Amino acid sequence: MGMGTIKLDSILNAQFVTSLIVIVVSILIYSAINFVFTKSEDKLDLKVFTGKRSKTYLKLTKSIIRNLFIVVTLLIVLDVYGVDVNSALTGVGIMGVILGFALQDWFKDIIRGGSIISDNYFSVGDIIKYHDSIGKVLVIGLKSTRIQDLDNDNIITIANRNIEEVEIISHVLLVNVPLSYELPLSKAENTINNIIDAVKQLENVEDCVYTGVYNLNDSSISYRLKISCDPEYRLKTRKIVLRTILDVLEKDGVQVPYNQLDIHNK
């Protein structure tokens, strides 16, 4: 009885030590590979135009390798403890048919994750809009994409199957300048030119051009400006541009029009 217990303990200890070695070796190998990928990412950060897409591939590859290491390590540990891995995989294959219906969204996420990369929907570092949030793409994984909201720095996770709801933000920022109907056209255009000169001096603004009259409103005329700016600073730039417009209007002695209600007595 005592000898059997000692033998069982020896086997269990041997299995525990072996599985521990497997896990440690797996972690060391993955850490080495992860170190190489991190170094590659740092080098790509220096390449403005070619780095984005390459960095996206690197992050996706890291995600695949991490999941692969977890699965392989788990199978090896199970084999160490005497589990018939081949039978287990066969069982998983049978269960896969059953679980397939329950995991449809999961598979959609993975397929869409591959499509994001292969079809170049967007890359790490791009600025995208999802519902009411505009953020910078941090990670594109197998199942989801993470972005950082530019307005409040919140991290938002987007299921890859919802890619159709994502908009890529361009470098173009459109701003309308409302001016009164009573303001002569020559003075209005002179004020618009002053606004353009001031906006061009702002940080993160690449260019600013006047595209013409955009709309005839009830109590004002909208003059449209087309501004080129870094999408990452789009929200910040818009706020500064609006303030700049108000400053120029104040210097030129031009009032911002507002809706008026005329009442006529009979």
pLDDT of residue 98: 46
pLDDT of residue 20: 83
- Write down the residue that tokens 């591959």 correspond to: 114
Q: How many CA atoms lie within 13 A of 123 on its CB side?
A: 14
- The helix, strand and coil proportions of the chain, stated in percent and rounded to the nearest 5, come to 55, 20, 25
Q: How far apart are the first and last CA of the chain?
A: 115
**Backbone region of residue 82 per phi and psi (left: phi > 0; alpha: psi in -120 to 50; beta: other values):** left
pLDDT of residue 265: 45
Give residue 46's pLDDT band: very low, low, confident or very high (50, 70, 90): very low
Angle (deg, nearest 10), helices 185-200 and 234-251: 140
Tokens of 223: 């003059």
For residue 147, give the nearest of 131, 126, 162 by alpha carbon: 126
Which has more confidence, 203 or 11? Answer: 203
Look up residue 248 and give its amino acid.
V
Give residue 58's pLDDT band: very low, low, confident or very high (50, 70, 90): low
Q: Contact at 8 Å (CB) between 44 and 55?
A: yes
172-251 maps to CATH 3.30.70.100: yes
pLDDT digits (tens, 9 = 90+) for 149-208: 988 889 999 988 888 888 888 889 999 999 999 998 889 989 999 999 999 999 999 999
Asked if residue 10 has pLDDT above 60, the reply is no
For residue 179, give the nearest of 245, 85, 122, 112 by alpha carbon: 245
Three-class secondary structure of residue 219 per DSSP: coil
CB atoms within 10 A of CB 15: 14
- Write down the residue that tokens 């994502």 correspond to: 166
* Average pLDDT of the segment spanning 82-100: 58
Of 13-17, 63-67, 95-99, 246-250, give the range with the top mean pLDDT: 246-250
CATH (one of 2.30.30.60, 1.10.490.10, 1.10.357.20, 3.30.70.2190) for 117-168: 2.30.30.60
